[in-house]
Amino acid sequence: MYAELLKIIEGGLSKDPQKVASYAKLLAQNYAKDGDSKSADRIMRLLENKRSPLVYLDQVITPPVDQETRLSIADFIMPGAQAEIPFIFSDTLKSKLDVFIGRLAHRNELQAAGITLTSSLLLYGPPGCGKTTLAHYIAQRLDLPLVVARLDSLVSSLLGNTSKNIRQICDFANRQPCILFLDEFDAIAKARDDQHELGELKRVVNSLLQNMDEFVKSGILIAATNHQDLLDKAIWRRFNTIVEVGKPDMEEIRQLLALYLSRGYVDFTQDARKWDNIVQLMAGSSAADIKSICQNTIAHNIMAKRPKVTYADVLLQYYHFKNHNSTSFKELIKFLSTYDVNQKLIAEICDISLRQVRNYLTHTA
């Protein structure tokens, strides 16, 4: 319980009743989990009998704002505010996440044993592969709110304001038990030797490093980037856990397709050959791309008042997605034919005659 006690003392010394109440409530919950209901009840009675109004996590919390634009620079997402997130990942990735989550769940015991570990995680990899979803998943597993930095408003045009905003977010996240999530991390953590950047960037990175060092002593920090090669070298040393989040493998693709297409009535679920064709077709796609293709397929069918999602429907939406809806009848017909869609169905899909389909295929043979 050392982390909670330190936060309560910090809140008392800084005369911050919200911080005291939030961490006292967390301390009571941890006592209850450990079977010490007497101590838990005593803390909760003290909180309930306090005459001055206290702000709890389940009440309205106002995130910090940029002084120039007055726009919010962070979103505060309560646990349970979103539906349960189905997340499909490899056994290797799950193992790394379990180690990180396990350290957080047993942080009090580790501290009691004299082991001090900073709670910081860096996720990197191609866009659309689930880094943001992973942050939400970890928050759900730990039953903690997620403070998500808004990089669009955090980076200010006024000299010095970006560093102040970073400080504001860290101070805000430090006031209650939560996870601080910095997405698109490279926007504020670029290498300081970049010749194309102005001196202000160096000041921002220096400020970021100082605030990170202070925050991770007792707070939980997750950062994500699509451009890990742009990060300052000193940034990497601030994370005790670094995880690459890559594109899904074939088994993950199969599971993602089954998950997202289950929202419609699929008429080829028992056809292994068609499923294998689609899985092979999706190889190299990100999880976000697969989700978009499946959702486009179901949406198209709903608007067309067609109750069943067919094999050809998925192929068609895949083709449109990969070709940015730039449709060449010749290429589309050839594509569908390659994946064993019969000529009559191709004619229906493309709204042309069967003779035209045969002519296109004859001239491309």
19 is written with which tokens? Answer: 């911080």
Same domain, 284 and 329: yes
196 — pLDDT class (breaks 50, 70, 90): low
The answer to whether position 68 is within a domain reads no
With cut-offs at 50, 70 and 90, classify the pLDDT of residue 56: very low
Same-domain check for residues 238 and 121: yes
Buried b (16+ CB within 10 A) or exposed e, 290-309: bbbbbebbbeebeeeeeeeb
Residues 122 and 231 in one domain: yes
55 is a domain residue:
no
Q: Which of 218, 244, 270 is the last residue of a domain?
A: 244
Note whether 230 and 255 are same-domain residues: no
324: in domain: yes
- State whether 341 and 201 are in the same domain: no
pLDDT above 90 for 81:
no
- Domain membership of residue 190 (yes or no) is yes
Tokens, residue 10: 């910090």
For the chain, percent helix, then strand, then coil, each to nearest 5?
55, 10, 35
Q: Is residue 220 part of a domain?
A: yes
4, 83: one domain: no
Same domain, 212 and 233: yes
- What average pLDDT does this structure show over 4-22? 65
Residue 60, in any domain of the structure? no
Residue 53 in domain: no
Do 239 and 254 belong to one domain?
no
Rg of the chain over CA atoms, in angstroms? 26
pLDDT digits (tens, 9 = 90+) for 101-156: 988 878 777 777 777 777 899 999 999 999 999 999 999 888 889 999 988 788 87
Give dist(CA 162, CA 185) in Å, integer: 13
Q: Are residues 91 and 219 in the same domain?
A: yes
Please identify, among 244, 265, 280, the residue that sits at the C-terminal boundary of a domain: 244
- What share of the chain has pLDDT > 70, as a percent? 81
User: Once rounded to an integer, what is the mean pLDDT over residues 159-181?
Assistant: 88
Q: In the prediction, which pLDDT does 52 show?
A: 46
Instruction: Please return the burial class of 64, using the count of CB atoms within 10 Å of its CB with bins 0-12, 13-18 and 19+.
Output: buried
Q: Residue 311 has what pLDDT?
A: 94
pLDDT tens profile 283-327: 999 999 999 999 999 999 899 888 889 999 999 999 999 988 666
237 with 264, same domain: the answer is: no
Distance of CA 285 to the CA centre of its chain: 18
Percent of the chain with pLDDT over 90: 33
The rounded distance, in Å, linking the Cα atoms of 85 and 239 is: 25
Residues 90 and 228 in one domain: yes
Q: Taking all residues of the chain, what is their mean pLDDT, rounded to a whole number?
A: 82
* Per-position DSSP letters for 252-311, written without gaps between them: HHHHHHHHHHTTSEETTTT-HHHHHHHHHHTTT--HHHHHHHHHHHHHHHHHTT--EE-H
Determine phi and psi for 171, rounding to 5 degrees.
Answer: -65, -40
Looking at 229, 244, 259, the residue that finishes a domain is 244
Query: Residues 222, 254: one domain?
Result: no
Q: What is the CATH number of the domain that holds 85?
A: 3.40.50.300
Task: Tell me the per-residue pLDDT of 251-291, one tens digit each, with 9 for 90 and over.
Answer: 999 999 999 998 878 888 889 999 999 999 999 999 999 99
Q: What does each C-alpha distance from 85 to 53, 177, 196 come to in angstroms?
A: 34, 21, 40
Within 10 angstroms of residue 335's Cβ, the number of other Cβ atoms is 19
Give the domain range for residue 11.
1-48
Q: How many domains is the chain built from? A: 3
65 within a domain of the structure (yes/no): no
Tell me which of 123 and 345 has the higher pLDDT: 123
CATH of the domain at 264: 1.10.8.60
